[in-house]
Amino acid sequence: MTWEYSEDNLIEQTAIDLFFNQLGWDITLAYKTELFGKSTAKL
C-alpha cells in the first residue's frame, strides 16, 4: 500500500486536522502511554 492510501494519511491525519484546526481542540499523542489496572488507582 502506498503512503497516499495509508490509514495514517486517510483517517488519523484527517481527524487531527478536524479536531485541532477546525474545532480548536488540543491533541495529545498517548499511544502506548496508557495506564491500566492497579497502577491507575493512585492517580
Name the domain count of the chain. Answer: 1
Average pLDDT over residues 17-43: 77
Average pLDDT over residues 20-42: 77
Cβ atoms of 9 and 3 within 8 Å: the answer is: yes
pLDDT of residue 41: 54
State percent of the chain over pLDDT 90: 16
Average pLDDT over residues 8-31: 85
Helices (H), 1-43: 7, 13-16
Q: Which three cell numbers stand for residue 24?
A: 480548536
Average pLDDT over residues 15-20: 89
Cβ atoms of 22 and 14 within 8 Å: the answer is: no
pTM, two decimals, is 0.48
Q: Which domain holds residue 23?
A: 3-40
pLDDT of residue 40: 56
